[in-house]
Amino acid sequence: MRVEITKSRKNKGINAHICSQNMSDYMTRAPSSNTPGFTVPEPVARPGDTPDFSGLGLNPDTLATRPDPVCPANDTHVLANTLIRVLDDEHCAQGEWNPELSAKQLREGLHLMLKTRLYDERMLKLQRQGKMSFYMKSMGEEAVAVAAGLALQAQDMLFPSYRQQGLLFARDRDMVEMMCHCLSNSRDNLKGRQLPVHYTWKDGNFFSISGNLCTQFPQAVGWAMASAVQGKDAIAASWIGDGTTAEGDFHGACTLASVYNAPVILNVVNNQWAISSFSGIAGSENASFAARGIGYGLATLRVDGNDFLAVFAATKWAAERARSGHGATLIETVTYRADAHSTSDDPGRYRPKEEATAWPLGDPIERLRKHLIALGEWDEKRHEALSEALTKEVLASYKKAESFGTLREGPLSPVPSMFEDVYAEQPWHLRRQRQDLGV
């Protein structure tokens, strides 16, 4: 019964930009288990192996075309099996998808991505010091959140998963408030009820993050439908990971978004890993995640998620389409989870340590930095100064946040608050239970 893992997919790279070619390549790949009729996919590289991303279709021969945002969904389906890129390997902006951002806008993007990264790094350290129970970084995926956040309007509702803290920075959420939530302290706007990084920010149109997967995807569709019903201009956007596309709620969201022509953007952040499971366990070897939208008749885009300009342009395109009543878009942002899933994870046990640095789409911050330098709008000195200023800002914010307490040392939200918000009014049995606890 014992099955040897084959590595026959090595060097079978997809180098196609046309839908049919790409799909046929997906279909002809060798199975990775030798039991006929039962295949368990296996990543090309495990710990100790050389990272190999040649099979992911990340090097299309030509630049993707940009259809009109109000085109029929069919016209976008070719874009589900290529890769929309703007920043090329020489750090120049190319092609029809170039959003033509000003230097000021580019610098803002760089600023926010760097802020997100430095925030994450600091929070991880503090978690290691026992200041909070848990943390999840977004390293390597900053463009996915920050660029989308900047491309959307403030009125648009965000239904994120747990790795889009960059959206909060893009909407200028107070860093102290974010930290107070993570510390579960007396100033935590969620009263210590949620795990760290499971933010909520109603005033910023940032929905509550659930620990359960994909639940927010069809909720975003519902929110968008309500917006349309009420004649409002606001659209919704949601984010899930590649692994989460396997959940039934993904099907529900895509179906309803298509059936009701809902003004929503459905983002699949394909960061290659769902804890220890590579994207192949969610079926990436047989079809791209963007291509799942084809069967639902949604508009579909597959985007270089580490390319700030491409993510911005794709989001802008999908937002224009949704806002003008032309329906939903499924966007796959191809990126790489450059660090552990969470502070409870040890990726060294299931993937090569060098994978993050070998990732062919590079680092989103580095790429935008080099682009700005190539434009003559940035230099090393300014970058260093920005980095220093942000580090100081993070430290100062933490100092302030800590003055409101930490999970270990307190103060926390008052104990009786744990019985509040279960219902609008506290029923007799909860009142009695609160009294039982003596608070």
Residues lying near other proteins in the complex (CB under 8 A) are found at 1-3, 5, 33, 35, 38, 40, 42, 46, 133-134, 184, 188, 191-195, 198, 210-213, 243-244, 246-249, 274-277, 281-283, 344, 349-350, 407, 412-413, 415, 418-419, 422, 429-430, 433, 436-437, 439
Q: In the complex, what is the shortest distance from the CB of residue 186 to other proteins, in angstroms, rounded to a whole number?
A: 10
Residue 336 phi, psi (nearest 5): -145, 130
Q: Which residue bears the tokens 């692994």?
A: 243
Q: In the complex, what is the shortest distance from the CB of residue 424 to other proteins, in angstroms, rounded to a whole number?
A: 14
Residue 325, exposed/middle/buried by CB under 10 A (0-12, 13-18, 19+)? exposed
Alpha carbon distance 98, 347 (integer Å): 35
Q: In the complex, what is the shortest distance from the CB of residue 344 to other proteins, in angstroms, rounded to a whole number?
A: 7
Residue 167 phi, psi (nearest 5): -60, -40
* Residue (13 or 283) nearer to other proteins, CB: 283
Q: In the complex, what is the shortest distance from the CB of residue 34 to other proteins, in angstroms, rounded to a whole number?
A: 9
Contact 312, 151 (CB under 8 A): yes
152 Cβ contact list (under 8 Å, min separation 6): 158, 235, 237, 315, 319
Our CA angle for 130, 133, 134, nearest 5°, is 110
* Residue (76 or 194) nearer to other proteins, CB: 194
Q: In the complex, what is the shortest distance from the CB of residue 196 to other proteins, in angstroms, rounded to a whole number?
A: 8
Q: In the complex, what is the shortest distance from the CB of residue 251 to other proteins, in angstroms, rounded to a whole number?
A: 10
* Residue (15 or 35) nearer to other proteins, CB: 35
* Residue (104 or 349) nearer to other proteins, CB: 349
CA atoms within 13 A on the CB side of 415: 7
Q: In the complex, what is the shortest distance from the CB of residue 197 to other proteins, in angstroms, rounded to a whole number?
A: 10
| Kind and range of the H or E run holding 80 | none
* Residue (65 or 277) nearer to other proteins, CB: 277
Question: Is the CA virtual torsion 310, 107, 342, 405 positive or negative?
Answer: negative
Helix (H, G, I), strand (E, B) or coil at 321: helix
Q: In the complex, what is the shortest distance from the CB of residue 218 to other proteins, in angstroms, rounded to a whole number?
A: 12
* Residue (299 or 340) nearer to other proteins, CB: 340
User: What region does 296 belong to: left with phi over 0, alpha with psi -120 to 50, or beta?
Assistant: alpha
Q: In the complex, what is the shortest distance from the CB of residue 419 to other proteins, in angstroms, rounded to a whole number?
A: 6
Token output for 6: 């084959």
Contact 117, 165 (CB under 8 A): no
Q: In the complex, what is the shortest distance from the CB of residue 142 to other proteins, in angstroms, rounded to a whole number?
A: 24
* Residue (193 or 370) nearer to other proteins, CB: 193
Token output for 362: 């590079």
User: What region does 43 belong to: left with phi over 0, alpha with psi -120 to 50, or beta?
Assistant: beta
Q: How many CB atoms lie within 10 A of CB 163?
A: 26
Q: How many CB atoms lie within 10 A of CB 90?
A: 9
Token output for 55: 């099979």
* Residue (192 or 305) nearer to other proteins, CB: 192
Alpha carbon distance 209, 251 (integer Å): 20
DSSP 8-state symbol, 238: E
* Residue (392 or 432) nearer to other proteins, CB: 432
* Residue (103 or 437) nearer to other proteins, CB: 437
